[in-house]
Structure 1
């Protein structure tokens, strides 16, 4: 996703150092998040059973990912404000899971945690590489950020819908635990409409038609899967298909002529 941002908006390949930093940092933050995630007794999913047996794997992945991010982060010290901000917002998403009263308090006020998560993904894969590049900010950058944010947010809504009971049990608040069915549907489709509008408008900034199509396709697939995903909670659907839709645009971008 980061490489696509560089190629599509800057016309240049992404820095290997930046790619390595973000890759290791992603492994670190993901493993940190799941290492701290408790498994409820009623949770019988494959994911929950795997986590119970292999929680230490996440610990070692966290240590390895953090070490790798530190090694490549040192090479990017001249961009430390961007890296520090990215690290801070990434940490804050998982902070409510830390078993300490100060961090538990965040569970009660994190009503916009899904918005926050989508914002983190968008920032790391778009604003971070654009900021590090030193290029002057342009309207096309803003449109691309809006497009990517609302695609990720639409996908995150489905994850939050699936996890509503789990979040309520743990005392974690979100818009999805607070809203009723119709409001959730409305929020999802508004997100998709904004995503489509921003994506189509990118064409007016001379982005090739094939690039626009590569951006739009994942949003259309997400919309088609919305009703099905609300009724089915398989790990394959969520962690392979829906998660995969976030990076599908990048894959299509490099496949299309």
Structure 2
């Protein structure tokens, strides 16, 4: 029962959707955004459920025997149902946030474009040939949804602290996305999806990876002069320490629990500190 629950939590993308909500909370709290719209938490949760299940629904299992893909084969209809439920939920809360329709529509369109190359019909298949920046693109979407949009919806200004935080978040997420793409290198090649990861050699890829961690650490130190900086740096240190192991494992449970967890670890520590 525990394994079944864990599979459902991770592979239905409920876990990563909760990560997105927690990151939005951290943005609101860290930047002291006063006019917090709680409907946006719900919109982000359902949108993430919809987009991730749509993405995995389109991902063929023939290229891998991974537990996640095999779970997707066995629960293909469930993934479609979650895509629909997520879409309906996002649409409902989109109506409550209609004053920001342009900003939210942009996020939805960018999220769709990430999965669009997997749709097996023209012109979407053509996107596989030009998706060289898909890792950058995914990182940018995450930062836009969890960091930029909360600022826009609150009506706050983009202060120096906000910019430092956004840059910090982009590069830690980008470094983690590099690890995911390195793991999926062979499947991406078989699907004909191009990326920076398929173009660079391993030495160049590692330089880019550690450079991203370094930039994230630098801007994390600029965000604040109190304990928050410690929270921001912990995921970077852990990611660096785990690099060797990460490059030599393909465990879905490791990637979708530990690495996805590192995306929101600073937010979790921040939340625990505030609640405590």
- Scaled by the length of structure 2, the TM-score of the pair is 0.89
Counting only pairs closer than 5 Å after superposition, residues 1-257 of structure 1 correspond to structure 2 as 1-12=23-34, 14-40=36-62, 43-203=64-224, 208-256=225-273
In the TM superposition, what is the alpha-carbon distance from 1:14 to its structure 2 partner?
A: 3.8
Question: For the Cα contact (< 8 Å) 1:2–1:14, is it kept in 2?
Answer: no
Aligned residues: 252
Question: For the Cα contact (< 8 Å) 1:7–1:14, is it kept in 2?
Answer: no
Q: Give the corresponding residue for 2:3.
A: none
In the TM superposition, what is the alpha-carbon distance from 1:15 to its structure 2 partner?
A: 2.4
Separation in 2 of the partners of 1:212 and 1:115?
A: 24
In the TM superposition, what is the alpha-carbon distance from 1:13 to its structure 2 partner?
A: 7.7
Question: For the Cα contact (< 8 Å) 2:37–2:153, is it kept in 1?
Answer: no
Separation in 2 of the partners of 1:212 and 1:85?
A: 31
Separation in 1 of the partners of 2:36 and 2:139?
A: 22
Separation in 2 of the partners of 1:199 and 1:56?
A: 42
Question: For the Cα contact (< 8 Å) 2:234–2:266, is it kept in 1?
Answer: yes
- Uncovered stretches (5+) of structure 2, i.e. residues with no partner: 1-22
In the TM superposition, what is the alpha-carbon distance from 1:12 to its structure 2 partner?
A: 3.9
Query: Which 4+ runs in 1 deviate beyond 3 A?
Result: 11-14
Could you say what the CA RMSD is over the residues aligned between the two structures, in angstroms? 1.2
Question: For the Cα contact (< 8 Å) 1:31–1:62, is it kept in 2?
Answer: yes
1:122 is paired with a residue whose SS is: helix
- Scaled by the length of structure 1, the TM-score of the pair is 0.95
Question: For the Cα contact (< 8 Å) 2:34–2:154, is it kept in 1?
Answer: no
Question: For the Cα contact (< 8 Å) 1:35–1:55, is it kept in 2?
Answer: yes
Question: For the Cα contact (< 8 Å) 2:35–2:155, is it kept in 1?
Answer: no
Separation in 2 of the partners of 1:149 and 1:193?
A: 12
Question: For the Cα contact (< 8 Å) 1:143–1:198, is it kept in 2?
Answer: yes
In the TM superposition, what is the alpha-carbon distance from 1:227 to its structure 2 partner?
A: 1.1
1:158-217 deviation line (CA, Å, top 9, x unaligned): 0000000000001000111111110011010000010001000112xxxx5211111111
